[in-house]
């Protein structure tokens, strides 16, 4: 029997459920701690943002290519090591059987994780690869511990995620007014305490999605969620991140649409079936309509210089199409194509450069398996309304930004939690029915 809030444990097992929640309490909270410190200047000195040309950016990035991905201070390393150990101990102590079952169901995700250390055979930058391996495994442990703690309480998870994100974005927005010389970029865009405006835009988008989704699902206004939403809207306005603004609008529209159970039952499967076709058509007609798309999204015709990066990425993919250049934070390819940034401003192309068509195929399998599990959520409508808009918005976000397989990125961590929650929920649904 499943209650109206989407909690999948039988109502007769309240005592067992209380012990279960207590066991996973600390391990399940690590995810929120990781979200809380996103963009914060931990052991990092704030400096006034400066304008750098493409040549200066390339010179700086190439000079530090060997240390990309390595921890800047022992403090940061200790914080993340503590997170990984706490989540890992919780999973080892209470979730070995569930983790084994999840590995069997999500084999594509764990093969994608194995591609990271396998990059040692193809890249000379062993330092970033080893650190990426540790962070990738740690991110999986953090996400699984959180999903295991909250998969039968998705509303509680969403409420706490919205609150933590709201606190985070409020600190960044307030810092803009208190320290404008250190938190506003040279072009007038807000970046808060983060390193760039797009990072703050992503946090604002996720904050708006989490708190708006909660109020739509509950059909009730919450003052704290409303205040967090206002701070998120201010962050999006200040950063002028068109990608984040577009994703926020799409995610909220999808939440409102999917919150109607009748519309969900009739149309969601059709939408999920034709979404790959829609993405394919967008890519086929991309060149023909690039100027119109750029106008709508508020960018220049070359997408603020991204078009050149995409052409370089396609060239690199053709050179090493199967396994890519390695998960070394693009340290190898920086000097090959004179890349002035550490990624190609497109999650799909960036993943193909790092892991080749094998990584893209595995990620596609992850998405297909997730979409197939959506059918099992018809009896758990809440989890479906929460996760589907987020996943679709994440795919749109990665058309001009990068978060795929970025282990400590807040969007990727949230995606892993969403993925594990859907898998664990579908398992319980099959047991109860």
Nearest-angstrom CA–CA distance, 188 and 186: 6
Degrees, nearest 5: CA angle 114-117-120 = 140
Integer CA distances (angstroms), 282 to 50, 187, 291, 324, in order: 36, 31, 13, 24
Mean pLDDT estimate for the chain: 81
Q: For residue range 136-169, list pLDDT tens digits in order.
A: 999 999 999 999 888 888 899 999 999 999 999 9
Nearest-angstrom CA–CA distance, 84 and 144: 11
Which carries the bigger pLDDT value, residue 433 or residue 411? 411
Q: For residue range 25-65, list pLDDT tens digits in order.
A: 677 889 999 999 998 888 677 777 776 666 666 666 766 66
Q: For residue range 242-301, list pLDDT tens digits in order.
A: 999 999 999 998 888 887 665 555 555 565 556 656 555 555 544 444 444 444 444 555
Do 346 and 309 touch, CB atoms closer than 8 A?
yes
Nearest-angstrom CA–CA distance, 14 and 147: 19
DSSP code for 222: -
Dihedral pair phi/psi, residue 196, rounded to 5°: -155, 165
User: How many helices (H) and strands (E) are present in the chain, helices listed first?
Assistant: 19, 0
Instruction: Compute the average pLDDT of residues 357-374.
Output: 89
pLDDT over 60 (residue 331): yes
Nearest-angstrom CA–CA distance, 242 and 28: 33
């Amino acid at each position: 029997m499943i209650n109206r809030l989407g909690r999948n444990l039988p109502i007769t097992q309240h005592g067992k459920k209380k012990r279960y929640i207590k066991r996973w309490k600390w391990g399940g909270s690590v995810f929120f701690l990781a979200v809380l410190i996103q963009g914060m200047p931990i052991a990092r000195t704030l400096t006034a943002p400066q304008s750098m040309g493409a040549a200066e950016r390339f010179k700086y990035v190439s000079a530090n290519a060997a240390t990309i991905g390595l921890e800047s201070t022992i403090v940061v390393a200790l914080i993340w090591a503590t997170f990984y150990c706490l989540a890992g101990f919780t999973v080892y102590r209470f979730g070995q059987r569930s983790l084994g079952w999840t590995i069997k169901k999500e084999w594509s995700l764990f093969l994608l994780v194995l591609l990271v250390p396998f990059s040692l055979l193809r890249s000379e930058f062993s330092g970033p690869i080893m650190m990426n391996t540790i962070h990738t495994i740690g991110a999986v442990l953090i996400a699984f511990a959180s999903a295991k703690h909250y998969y039968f309480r998705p509303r509680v998870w969403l409420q706490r995620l919205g609150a933590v994100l709201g606190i985070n974005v409020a600190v960044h927005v307030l810092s803009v007014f208190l320290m404008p010389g250190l938190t506003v970029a040279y072009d007038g865009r807000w970046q808060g305490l983060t390193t760039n405006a797009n990072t703050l835009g992503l946090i604002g988008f996720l904050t708006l999605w989490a708190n708006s989704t909660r109020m739509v699902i509950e059909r009730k206004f919450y003052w704290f969620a409303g205040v967090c939403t206002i701070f998120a809207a201010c962050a999006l306005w200040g950063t002028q991140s068109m990608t984040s603004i577009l994703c926020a609008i799409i995610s909220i529209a999808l939440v409102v649409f999917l919150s109607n159970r009748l519309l969900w039952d009739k149309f969601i499967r059709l939408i999920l079936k034709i979404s790959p076709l829609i993405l394919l058509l967008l890519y086929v007609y991309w060149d023909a309509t690039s100027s119109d798309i750029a106008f709508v999204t508020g960018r220049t015709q070359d997408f603020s210089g991204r078009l050149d990066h995409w052409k370089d990425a396609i060239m690199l993919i053709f050179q090493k199409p199967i396994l890519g250049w390695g998960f070394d934070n693009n340290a190898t390819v920086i000097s090959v194509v004179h890349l002035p940034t550490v990624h190609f401003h497109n999650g799909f192309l960036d993943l193909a450069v790092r892991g080749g068509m094998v990584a893209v195929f595995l990620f596609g399998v992850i998405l297909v398996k997730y979409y197939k599990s959506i059918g099992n959520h018809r009896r758990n409508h809440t989890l479906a309304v929460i996760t589907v808009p987020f996943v679709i918005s994440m795919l749109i976000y990665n058309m001009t930004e990068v978060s795929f397989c970025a282990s400590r990125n807040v969007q990727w961590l949230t995606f892993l939690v969403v993925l594990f929650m859907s898998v664990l929920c579908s398992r319980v649904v099959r047991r109860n029915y």
